[in-house]
Every structure is written in C-alpha cells, then in structure tokens.
Amino acid sequence: MAIQITNEQLKKLDEQAFELYVGELIEHCELCYPKRVDYITVKELRVILANEVKKIKQQGINQRASVRFQIDLMIIFGVGFKTDPQYEWINQWLVQNAHYSQLEQADFLFEDCVDYLQAVYGENSRNKYLVDSKLECFDLTHYNLTKENFDRDILAIIQDIYPKKAELAGDKALQNLITQAKQTASTQFSCTYIDQYAYFIIVSYLYGHQFYDDPFLPNLTSIENSNDTEFDYASHNINTKQHYTNAIEHWGVLKSL
C-alpha cells in the first residue's frame, strides 16, 4: 500500500528544508564574511537571513544558488543595491539580461561583480586600505563645504574619500545619490544642518543608500526621527554627527569581506 503524506506533513517538510537552507546560508556567511557577521549573533543572523530569503523569493528568485548570490550582493553592496544610484550598472545588467535563467544570471553577474571589486579595491586591496586609513580619523571640517554650493562640494568630498569608486560610479550616478540622500535625510531623519546632510550622504556612499535599514549592519541604525514639538535640533545634530563619524571611521571593519 502506498504511503500517503498529508498537507500538514508536507508543510512541515517544507519548513524543515527552509530551516536547513538558512543554516547553510549562516555557514556561508560565517565562512565568506567572518568580520561582518561577527557583529551579529547566530540567532539574529538566522532571523535576518530567513526574512531576506522570503523577500528574495517574493521577487521570483527561488533557485538555491541564485538566492545565496542575492544575499552576497546585499552584504557586499548594501541591502538596497538594486535601487542604489551608485550601483545602477547592476540593475541595468539585470534588466538587459532578464532573458537568462536565474543560474545564468548569477554566473554572469558574478563575473562582472568580481571585475568591479578588483577594480574598486585595487591590487592587493590597495585602494581599500588607503580609504580605510583616510577614514580612521575622519574630520569633515578638513573639507570645504558651503551651503551655497553644497552639491558641488559634497561631490568633491566623496570623490576624494574613495576616488576609484567615484570614478567607476560616474558623476551622474553620484549626483543622483546626493539628491536622493538629501531627500531621505530631510524627510525621514529630521536633518536640518548642512553637516548632517553631508554625513548622511557620505555614509550612504560608503555603505549603500539604504544603510539605515540594512539588517546586515545592525550597528548603523540611524538616529530616529522625532515628532516632539520641542525637539532639540542642536542636540540631535551633535548626536547625529558623532553617530555618523563613528560609522565612517569604522568603515574598514564593518565593510570587511
């Protein structure tokens, strides 16, 4: 007599398979990104990965290797890499090559990402180490930043911070990033001072334009907005400055692969 499996049993099998896959992703992250996940407990990482896998599957990506590659891209480029102006080339590639299968897309895009990282990091990660040393004692006052020419000045600052990355992104993409980051800083995080905008843009450039909502960067949760009518903008500015300065100075550690 054939053994019959109930829908409830099938559901349990699916849940077990999902948990096993998340376990594999945890091992993958611990192996490939040990310094990044060192800031996240295994329990927290399991929750993060489970949530992200579900979101990825909702986008129609369901092949195991393809899902894992999407996780890789989130960790390397930031959780919002598909809509990040500085990585517009990734989204363009995905649109232009939508006719490929999921696995083919992952294989081909992987090669492009390797080429990009080799170029932006430089030989033996020389470019990255130079940026890291430059940011260890970051001081915005060392740069010329004016309210009248803010967009031009902040563009020059991020180009100076990480020249090769800026070159590969291009001025147009960086200008779009600046415009977008200013809007987000104002509407979501009560930024009112010129240095607040500057710090927010710099962190967006270094970590990705949705750094404030990136589950793989738990230490970078931005200072929350306040609806208090007596909100102290001066204190908020000081706290924000310190928060973002710390994020910038620790970039080399938090973005280690």
Q: How confident is the model at residue 231 (pLDDT cuts 50, 70, 90)?
A: very low
> Do residues 119 and 168 make contact, with C-beta atoms less than 8 angstroms apart?
yes
Mean pLDDT across 6-14: 62
| Range from 100-104, 167-171, 198-202 carrying the lowest mean pLDDT | 100-104
More confident residue, 62 or 166: 166
pLDDT digits (tens, 9 = 90+) for 14-72: 788 899 999 999 999 999 999 888 889 999 999 999 999 999 999 999 889 999 999 99
List the helix and strand counts (H, then E) for the chain: 13, 0
Shortest CA distance to 223 belongs to which of 251, 192, 254, 180? 192
The confidence score (pLDDT) of residue 191 equals: 87
Q: Give residue-wise pLDDT tens across range 118-151.
A: 999 999 999 999 999 999 889 999 998 999 999 9
Question: Which residues neighbour 30 within 8 Å (Cβ) at sequence distance 6 or greater?
Answer: 37
SS3 200: helix
Matching residue, tokens 């060192």: 38
Rounded Cα–Cα distance for residues 236 and 223 (Å): 8
Please give the average per-residue pLDDT across 163-177, as a whole number. 97
Q: Which residue has the higher pLDDT, 226 or 242?
A: 242
Do 77 and 208 contact (CB within 8 A), yes or no? yes
Q: Element (H or E) spanning 213, and its range?
A: none
Q: How far apart are CA 240 and CA 226, in angstroms?
A: 13
Amino acid 9 reads Q
Angle at 185 between CA 239 and CA 158, to 5 degrees: 90
| Cα distance between residue 187 and residue 4, in whole Å | 56
Half-sphere exposure of 247 (CA within 13 A, CB side): 25
pLDDT per position as a tens digit, 90-116: 999 999 998 999 989 999 999 999 999
How do the domains of the chain map onto residue ranges?
Answer: 123-254
| The length of the chain, given as a count of residues | 257
Question: Is the Cβ–Cβ distance between 37 and 61 less than 8 Å?
Answer: no
Average pLDDT, the chain: 87
pTM, entire model: 0.87
Ranked by mean pLDDT, the top range of 8-12, 94-98, 229-233 is 94-98
- Taking a C-beta distance cutoff of 8 angstroms, is the pair 157, 145 a contact? yes
DSSP 15-68: HHHHHHHHHHHHHHHHHH-HHHHTTS-HHHHHHHHHHHHHHHHHTT---HHHHH
